[in-house]
Chains A and B, each alone.
Chain A
Amino acid sequence: MTDEPAVFVVDDDPSVRRSVVRLLETAGLRVEGFGSAEAFLEREPPDGPGCVVLDVRLSGMSGLDLQRRLMAVGRPMAIVFITGHGDVPMTVEAMKAGAVDFLLKPFDDEALLAAIDRAIERDRVRLREHQALEGLRARYDRLTPRQQQVFGWVATGLPNKQIAAQLGTGEKNIKVHRARVMATMQAGSLADLVRQAERLQLRPGGSTPHG
């Protein structure tokens, strides 16, 4: 995994594409250009943080279509839209769908680079959160089914005695399970554990939406 951010420029106007790629290269970024949304989709997703500089009007699949498609296939990417002629409804739609910025051509290099910086930063955060969640899930998966059940009830704030009654066992057993859960999940406190449960979207009884 590399931490070097990658920028993808998708514009079907060759001279715009070429000049933007060149500008970003001179700014020291790792840049790839694509002439259509379809061409971009064929590329492997990047490992590290990145962003897409995306023209709204493309022949074939449009920029907004590409944005929706990336969300649908679980490949959310930070997007900076660029357009020759934007209108308000189009901008609102793009921003609602999670675009980082919406720049009108011709745009200043500082504005573009700032937008790209924000996008990469947001992608880093997204990536970090994504990675944290992945770690959490991995730890959760290491729990026994009984421990996962106990985790679910603890996160609801129920006292041990009542959990024992729910699960039809002794209060002492619950205490032991609870300690194992805390250790495996690397939770420092009950509050930590509750936050983890929220992030894992645990339900009482101990199953996550992801199964």
Chain B
Amino acid sequence: MPTSTKARPTTDPPGSAVGQASRELADAEPTPRAAGFRRVLEATRIVQWEADARTWAFTYVGPQAVRMLGYPVERWYEPGFWAAHVHADDRERVVRFREQAAREREAYEFEYRMIAASGQSVWVHDVVAVDRVDGAPAVIRGFLIDVSQRKRAEAIARASEARLRQLIEQAPDAIIAVRSEGQIAFVNRQAERMFGYRRGELVGRGFEQLVPGQPDVQCLMATVGQGRSPEAGGTGDDTAPITGRCRDGRTFPAEINFSPLDTDEGLVIVSTIRDISERLTAETALRQSEERFRIAATLGADIIAEVDIKTGAVEWFGQVDEALGYERGEFPRTFDGWAGQLHPEDRERVMAEVAREVVELRRGLSAEFRIRAKDGSYRHWSVRVAPRLEGQGRPTRFVVVCSDVTEQIVARAEALQHRDALAHVARVSSLGELTGTLAHELNQPLAAILSDAQAAIRLLDRDQPDVPQIREVIRDIVADDRRASAIIQRLRDMMRRGTVVREPVDLCQVVREVREIMRSGLVTRGITVVPDFAGDLPPVVADRIQIQQVVVNLVTNAMQAMDGLTNARLTLGVRGREDAWQVVSVADTGPGIAASAVDTMFEPFSSSRPGGLGMGLSISRSIIEAHGGKIWAENRLDGGATVCFGLPPDGTTGG
């Protein structure tokens, strides 16, 4: 903390009352008048003192010294007391100052810190007069005044001024102080930024250039300046819209607020300016979305309900009555009444979800349910529910945006039917492709049966039939008959149109069966089949026939991709994944998938084969996706394509 060392000639002449009193004290012969002054002085907190200007030893110290520093007066008379009790940081400076001042001046003042008996620093103001004998200082006298309080107050004032300055500089609003004549006295940093000027370019200029052509602003400012308040009691709450103009000519919407401030240099109007262009944009957007909301609601695209949780009152926006075939105002305006119109199978689920998600957890929710129209038919509604959150705790209201999705649901159901029909057609048409194979497979056991039966007849026709041998032949006949039945059963499965059956399916078994069905086609084309099955896989829940269909499609594609190749190899894999999904892969050594086909190969009618319908992979995809699975294809680095599909263990959803 800087020490004030301002010295100035004292205004007290040497013959003043105090100086007189001091001198008389030194004479030790007090006059009644001197004694009177002394009492007055001793009644104040000012410490009088007198010292020898050659030794600097005190020759007199007033009794207030005890209160000021806490030392007994006798201590002050010890040689060197004063210098020893000046604060160490101030000592060198004040000792030098005192010697110089005593030599050169009649009187001087200075301030420094002394150390009190308690150890605390005490700021003192020392007023000193010098008595000379033959031009040399002989006696010095003075007063010590405790100014610690004032010093503290000054420090606080300095700190708070710095804080205030910082606040003003960092304010989000532009702050511009304007003198009554209209010149700018001060701007803060935000003002520089907002208007694009540097501080030096603004101070001293007219405020008018920042808000040009707006006489009402000038007028308002003048009113504030003259009446100190434009309206009764106005203390700066008056905000006016203005258009600010930047240095580059750009203008922006803003709000201005004036408050008058009396200063040493006269009246100053402090204006606070806030750029509101962002707020205006947001307000416009809000107005627009409100408008859209209103239009959407009245057009009936959406029906919106606001539900008061406490009272159960429902306020409908949009044409809820018309949507459900009621007269205007007829549909219930209470939440319970509304819930009563939900399909009994949906009601409990939806209400529980709303109570848990929206009311308890304060979250949004999407739901679908059926709601009864006046004629007893049901409409499908898809709703989004959002709580209106005001503060903590449970919401008091929530908003429900309802869309009638009946048409979409019907369309979706039709699409599902179409897909099933298409899958059936594809299955039957691929049966056509498989007919040769299947006939061959079926004729194998039939041939064996016929030959065995005829052999048995021949054996029976012998004079001494070999019964054990005949029994063996008949056993073989039975086994081959069963084999034939199994083939026919597979055929029937593929022909059947029936509903989707979800059952535990061993994917390895499915792939093995397909390999059996297609064996002859594979053999004819000279394709080597490499099975790559993981052992001990649990069954997955799926429609066995549909999955078999997919594998047949993939194997058929792979066979066709390898048509005419030597060393054609087909790898059939079934693997388990860590997430319990199982992945079936069909890998060929054909030319791979053309880059142009990679993205579209699962789309309908995307066959790369002349004469191909292009339905196989798209149907495969719809089957796999209906099982909650995924199908994908990739080219391998070593050539050839791999088509894989993965199924979740529980066959998730769809149908």
A: residues with CB less than 8 A from B are: 13, 15-16, 18-20, 22-23, 25-27, 57-59, 62, 82-85, 87, 104-109, 112
Contact = CB atoms under 8 A, between A and B. Distances in A.
A130 B524 CA distance: 35
Nearest to A58: B523
A105 B445 CA distance: 9
Contacts of B473: 19, 22
Nearest to B449: A106
Contacts of A22: 451-452, 455, 473
Interface in B452-483: 452, 454-455, 458-459, 473, 476, 479-480, 483
Interface stretch (B43-51, B387-395, B433-441, B635-643): B433-441
25 contacts: A15-B445, A15-B476, A15-B479, A15-B483, A18-B448, A18-B476, A19-B451, A22-B473, A23-B451, A23-B454, A23-B455, A26-B455, A57-B440, A59-B523, A84-B441, A84-B443, A84-B444, A85-B436, A85-B443, A104-B443, A105-B446, A106-B446, A106-B447, A107-B447, A109-B455
B439 A85 contact: yes
B450 interface: yes
Given A19-B455, A106-B447, A106-B449, 11 more contacts: A16-B444, A16-B451, A18-B476, A19-B452, A20-B448, A23-B451, A57-B520, A85-B436, A85-B439, A105-B447, A109-B454
A15 B478 CA distance: 11
A108 B444 contact: no
Nearest to A14: B448
B523 A19 contact: no
List the 7 closest A-B pairs by CB distance, nearest first. Answer: A84-B440, A105-B447, A84-B443, A19-B451, A109-B454, A26-B458, A85-B440
Contacts of A83: 440
Say whether chain B's binding surface is mostly helix, strand, loop, or mixed. Answer: helix
Contacts of B439: 84-85
A26 B447 contact: no
Contacts of B449: 19, 106
A86 to B, nearest CB: 9
Nearest to A104: B443
Given A84-B439, A85-B440, A20 B520 contact: no
A104 B439 CA distance: 11
Nearest to A17: B448
Contacts of A20: 447-448, 451
A87 B449 CA distance: 23
B448 to A, nearest CB: 4
B569 to A, nearest CB: 14
B230 to A, nearest CB: 105
B440 A107 contact: no
Contacts, number: 87
A108 B454 contact: yes
Contacts of B479: 15
Given A15-B445, A19-B476, A23-B458, A109 B451 contact: yes
B524 A57 contact: yes
Contacts of A87: 436
A58 B522 CA distance: 11
Nearest to A18: B476
Contacts of B443: 84-85, 104-106
A105 B443 CA distance: 6
Given A58-B523, A62-B524, A16 B455 contact: no
Nearest to A90: B524
B111 to A, nearest CB: 116
Contacts of A105: 443-444, 446-447
Given A57-B520, A84-B439, A107-B450, A15 B444 contact: yes
Interface string B167-189: 00000000000000000000000
Nearest to B479: A15
Nearest to A22: B455
A106 B473 CA distance: 17
Nearest to A56: B524
Interface in B502-539: 520, 523-524
Contacts of B448: 13, 15-16, 18-20
A57 B524 CA distance: 6
Contacts of A108: 450, 454
A14 to B, nearest CB: 9
Nearest to B444: A13
Contacts of A13: 444, 448
Contacts of A112: 451
Which has the most chain A C-beta neighbours within 10 Å: B458, B459, B476?
A: B458
A23 B480 CA distance: 15
A109 B524 CA distance: 27
Contacts of B459: 26
Contacts of A26: 455, 458-459
Interface in B263-288: none
A164 B524 CA distance: 63
A85 to B, nearest CB: 4
B222 to A, nearest CB: 109
Contacts of B436: 85, 87
A106 B447 CA distance: 4
A109 B454 CA distance: 7
Contacts of B440: 57, 83-85
A83 B447 CA distance: 10
A90 to B, nearest CB: 10
A109 B523 CA distance: 27
Nearest to B519: A59
Nearest to A25: B455
A16 B440 CA distance: 12
Contacts of A18: 448, 476
Nearest to A61: B526
Which has the most chain B C-beta neighbours within 10 Å: A15, A27, A58, A112?
A: A15
B523 A57 contact: yes
B452 to A, nearest CB: 4
Contacts of A27: 458
Contacts of A107: 447, 450-451
Contacts of A57: 440, 520, 523-524
Nearest to A103: B447
A6 B448 CA distance: 21
Given A13-B444, A15-B480, A26-B459, A84 B451 contact: no
Which has the most chain B C-beta neighbours within 10 Å: A25, A59, A62, A106?
A: A106
A26 B473 CA distance: 12
B199 to A, nearest CB: 95
A9 to B, nearest CB: 10
Given A23-B458, A109-B454, A16 B523 contact: no
Nearest to B483: A15
Given A22-B452, A26-B459, A16 B447 contact: yes
A19 to B, nearest CB: 4
Contacts of A16: 444, 447-448, 451
Contacts of B524: 57, 62
B36 to A, nearest CB: 142
Contacts of B520: 57, 84-85
A16 B454 CA distance: 13
A108 B453 CA distance: 10
